[in-house]
Amino acid sequence: MNQELPVRHRRSWAEPYKIKMVELLKNTTQEERLRAIEMAGYNTFLLRSEDVYIDLLTDSGTSAMSDVQWSGMMLGDEAYSGSANFYHLEENVRKYYGYPHVIPTHQGRGAEHLISKILIKTGDVVPGNMYFTTTRLHQELAGGTFEDVIVEEAHDPMSQAPFKGNVDIQKLENLIARVGASKIPYITIGATVNMAGGQPISMANMREVRNVAQRNGIRIILDATRAIENAFFIQQREEGYANKPVADILFEMCSLSDGATMSGKKDLLVNIGGFLAMRDEWIYNEALSLVVVYEGMHTYGGLAGRDMEAMARGIIEAVQDNHIRARVGQVEYLGHKLQEWGIPIVEPIGGHAVYLDAKRFLPHLKQNEYPAQMLAAQLYIEGGIRSMERGIVSAGRDQLTGEERHPRLELVRLTIPRRVYTQAHLDVTAEVIASLYDRRSEIPGLEMTYEPRYLRFFQARFKPKAN
């Protein structure tokens, strides 16, 4: 923003808050970090958080709540049924997302579990704009198969397309022609697309998907986890939206879907919580009877009253234009710094994270030597920075053949929690990455020593390959 103006004439964005409580960080030595990553099997998920200096593992549940949200925590109505906080949450989801029916869940995957169980039959196919790990697994466990129908540019970390989260309409039409609409219970639309590097989908594309879906009698379920960030990109990049508030754009996006799964731990600035929302009475009734089996009563869904209150209040803060501009602005700040230094990242810079392109960072490693996994481990050893692999380890194995999937993107995600770190933390992060980049040719690959059955990236263990 305003990058082209001389610094003196710029009007920069600044965080629309000030800091009133802090958490102290621990510094560690390189030897201590080497020991810690070895204990963790070269998997950053298995590190102890107290051994981490700057934690960019995820933006999920790691954001800082406001004083307004914290004071809401004191107003928790911890009744088993009919909590006042539930009605407050329902009211705000209706107002800002526009779905009439809302069922809280403990987090996003709780909602994915319910909708997959309700709508998917064995042999069904669920198309989507790139997979997300938990979403696809719930679809598979319900008997379905996920089909990626995202545009080709999404797989190219160097493509500058503004909406790399778009659905390739031709791929979608071809899939419908091939398997038949009756085999497709719904289309999942991710906004923004996490595994593609936090890339947005355009309103025009959502509308096209809507038309195809309606013509074929197929539902659309939005993964609204980071839809507010997507709405901001629409405001910045899509014709006709420059003067619309992000809140209005969010509402319009949701109007093009039949329901949504939501992880409140991202956009909504809470440490725990999610919901399933929908228009359809029939789905709602099914969800009402399933939620009590897996999550809890439909007025708490695995959450305490106070958690629902924090999320209800978080919605209002999250849709403010000045909040979202600073949030995405901070991610762009780190991304621009790395770009200036010639470090390979996914472009354009995403909404919640900067993604290092491990294929270009470590070109001497083959994908089955887990370059992104190793790069994440090295970032930790170098500077105590925790990031996450989003490549071959995350992609897992094909359900039928048992073979490793080979995604074209082999990435390390530097995910920025909301309202947590300062610009100086991001400067240090960029400097650590730069010094690692200078000695990149010395970095060896990894071999996997333990592989769990489901979502292996969380608990898999590795050791460096002997050179």
Stretch that binds ligand F0G, among 8-16, 129-137, 227-235, 440-448 (CB under 6 A): 129-137
Task: Report how far residue 374's alpha carbon sits from residue 359's, in angstroms, rounded to the nearest whole number.
Answer: 12
Q: Which of 26, 80, 366, 397 is catalytic?
A: 80
Pairing of strands 145-148, 186-190: unpaired
Active site residue 223: yes
Q: Which of 105, 133, 134, 135 is catalytic?
A: 133
Task: Report how far residue 467's alpha carbon sits from residue 56's, in angstroms, rounded to the nearest whole number.
Answer: 29
Using the rule CB under 6 A, is 299 a contact of ligand F0G? no
Q: Which is nearer to ligand F0G, 60 or 116 (CB)?
A: 60
Using the rule CB under 6 A, is 230 a contact of ligand F0G? no
Q: Which of 58, 83, 129, 299 binds ligand F0G (CB under 6 A)?
A: 58
Task: Report how far residue 37's alpha carbon sits from residue 379's, in angstroms, rounded to the nearest whole number.
Answer: 11
Q: Which residue is nearest to ligand F0G (CB)?
A: 108
Query: How many residues contact ligand F0G, by CB under 6 A?
Result: 15
3-state secondary structure of 223: strand
Site for ligand F0G, residues 252 to 291, rule: CB under 6 A: 263, 265, 274
Q: Which of 83, 116, 194, 429 binds ligand F0G (CB under 6 A)?
A: 194
Active site residue 325: no
**Alpha-carbon distance values, 98 to 95, 110, 193, 195, 259 (Å):** 6, 21, 21, 26, 10
CB-hemisphere CA count at 13 Å for 341?
20
Please give the backbone phi and psi of residue 63, each rounded to the nearest 5 degrees, phi first: -80, 160
Q: Which is nearer to ligand F0G, 138 or 313 (CB)?
A: 138
Q: And the tokens for 293?
A: 């089996």
Residue 414 near residue 353 (C-beta atoms within 8 A):
yes
For the bound state, the minimum distance from the C-beta of residue 199 to ligand F0G, rounded and expressed in Å, comes to 12
For the bound state, the minimum distance from the C-beta of residue 32 to ligand F0G, rounded and expressed in Å, comes to 26
Stretch that binds ligand F0G, among 41-49, 107-115, 305-313, 450-458 (CB under 6 A): 107-115
Using the rule CB under 6 A, is 396 a contact of ligand F0G? no
Active site residue 266: yes
Active site residue 133: yes
Q: Which is nearer to ligand F0G, 134 or 378 (CB)?
A: 134
Task: Report how far residue 150's alpha carbon sits from residue 463's, in angstroms, rounded to the nearest whole number.
Answer: 34
Site for ligand F0G, residues 197 to 226, rule: CB under 6 A: 223, 225
Task: Report how far residue 464's alpha carbon sits from residue 179's, in angstroms, rounded to the nearest whole number.
Answer: 44
Q: Peptide bond preceding 58: is omega within 30 degrees of 0, i.e. cis?
A: no
Active site residue 390: yes
Stretch that binds ligand F0G, among 39-47, 104-112, 228-236, 379-387 (CB under 6 A): 104-112
Active site residue 132: yes
For the bound state, the minimum distance from the C-beta of residue 323 to ligand F0G, rounded and expressed in Å, comes to 19
Q: And the tokens for 302?
A: 């695995």
Alpha helices in 120-168 (DSSP H): 133-141
Q: Of 80, 128, 110, 37, whose CA–CA distance to 300 is shortest?
A: 80
Q: Which of 132, 284, 361, 380 binds ligand F0G (CB under 6 A)?
A: 132
For the bound state, the minimum distance from the C-beta of residue 191 to ligand F0G, rounded and expressed in Å, comes to 9
Using the rule CB under 6 A, is 190 a contact of ligand F0G? yes
Active site residue 45: no
Q: Which of 43, 63, 69, 107 binds ligand F0G (CB under 6 A)?
A: 107
If you search the block for the tokens 């994440």, which residue do you land on? 376
Residue 208 is which amino acid?
E
Q: Which of 33, 219, 390, 419 is catalytic?
A: 390
Stretch that binds ligand F0G, among 132-140, 144-152, 233-241, 366-374 (CB under 6 A): 132-140
Q: Of 407, 347, 311, whose CA–CA distance to 153 is shortest?
A: 347
Beta bridge partners of 50: none
Could you tell me if residue 451 is left (phi over 0), alpha (psi between -120 and 50 degrees) or otherwise beta?
Answer: beta
If you search the block for the tokens 């981490």, which residue do you land on? 52
Neighbours of 339 (CB within 10 A): 15
If you search the block for the tokens 């594309």, which residue do you land on? 205
For the bound state, the minimum distance from the C-beta of residue 222 to ligand F0G, rounded and expressed in Å, comes to 10
Using the rule CB under 6 A, is 108 a contact of ligand F0G? yes
Q: Tell me the catalytic residues.
A: 80, 132-133, 223, 266, 390, 457
For binding to ligand F0G (CB under 6 A), which residues are involved? Answer: 58, 60, 107-109, 132, 134-135, 190, 194, 223, 225, 263, 265, 274
